[in-house]
Structure 1
Amino acid sequence: MKLVRYNQLNPAYPSAVSSMLDKFFSDSFGPVAKSFNPAVDISEDEKAYDIQLSVPGAKKENFKIELVDGTLTISGERKWEEKKEGKNYHSVESQYGSFSRSFFLPDDAQSEGIEASYEDGILKVIVPKAEKKIAKSVIEVK
């Protein structure tokens, strides 16, 4: 069985030029990239902001999370570990290298109580919200 790269323009058969260019760049530079941007999902509920980065295959020791002046910066690295053992790679589409993503936190985000966890290739950072203060007061007439 021979692996054939999918051609978006014509899925019935691969493009010779596309395959030739892919092979040239794969053989010349290999799968190691210097940097990449992992996919990020951000959501919120009434209690917290939930930031999730997709970094499968990374190790939790390789992440660094910093909060400076209201900017949350998440950085890390996913290293390529080539294990040949009789394997010839035909295609490597996974991303490797270092990354850094920064997020400006809203005014209601609390710097205390930020939690981070890494499970199943997803780095999850929970930023709690400050409790809403009720802007109501009674003014006494004198």
Structure 2
Amino acid sequence: MTKSVIPVGTERSVARQEANPFAFLQQEIDRLFDGFSRNFPAFTTSGAALPRMDVGETDKVIEITAELPGLETKDVQLNLADNVLTVRGEKKNEREEKNKDYHLVERSFGSFARSVQLPEGVKSEDITAEIAKGVLKVTVKKPAPKQSKQIEIKAAA
């Protein structure tokens, strides 16, 4: 695989647009992180892995599925605020092994939050969620489309 030796920022322009050295530094840092995140798409700056999430829709509902292996209902929160649905969770794992030659204790934990913008007018009572075998399935009933009414224009007298 070959890579371009020309630094290209997020705007994909080859020419330098500013002579400001700090702007150039910012472009280089952005390019570095863009390249890094391409290799690790589920990695965040906090070190926690984001769960994979699929969003699909039909005429009547929006279906959201999130892979949450090892999590149960008590480990996950679902919130709706300002038409944004947020899935939050925390995974805690502890393993202990005792043998006559060694004693091993491993602990790991991490939290995540994923958000999805929903259409205007969605109500929390129109949302159902269930988790089974590490997969969260959220179904959101779409609000009825707003009816538009044509207004008659009268000629000025």
What band does the TM-score fall into relative to the shorter chain?
0.5 to 0.7
Question: Which residue among 29, 49, 53 is the counterpart of 1:36?
Answer: 49
Alignment check: 8 A CA contact 1:113 1:128 kept: yes
**Larger Cα-atom Rg:** 2
Q: Normalized per residue, which structure has more strand?
A: 2
Matching residue of 2:129: 116
Matching residue of 1:66: 79
Alignment check: 8 A CA contact 2:56 2:62 kept: yes
Identify unmatched segments of 5+ residues in structure 2.
Answer: 1-45, 100-107, 153-157
Matching residue of 1:92: none
Question: Which residue among 104, 114, 125 is the counterpart of 2:117?
Answer: 104
Deviation at 1:84, TM superposition (A): 2.5
Deviation at 1:120, TM superposition (A): 1.4
> 2 CA distance for matches of 1:36 and 1:99?
7
Give the TM-score of the pair, scaled to structure 1.
0.59
Amino acid at match of 1:70: N
**1:46-102: CA deviation from partner (whole Å, max 9, x where unpaired):** 11101110011111111111111111111011211214356xxxxxxxx95111011
The percentage of counterpart residues that share the same residue type is: 35
Q: 4+ residue runs of structure 1 moved beyond 4 angstroms?
A: 133-137
Deviation at 1:35, TM superposition (A): 2.2
Deviation at 1:119, TM superposition (A): 0.6
> 2 CA distance for matches of 1:73 and 1:125?
11
Deviation at 1:108, TM superposition (A): 5.8
Identify unmatched segments of 5+ residues in structure 1.
Answer: 1-32, 87-94
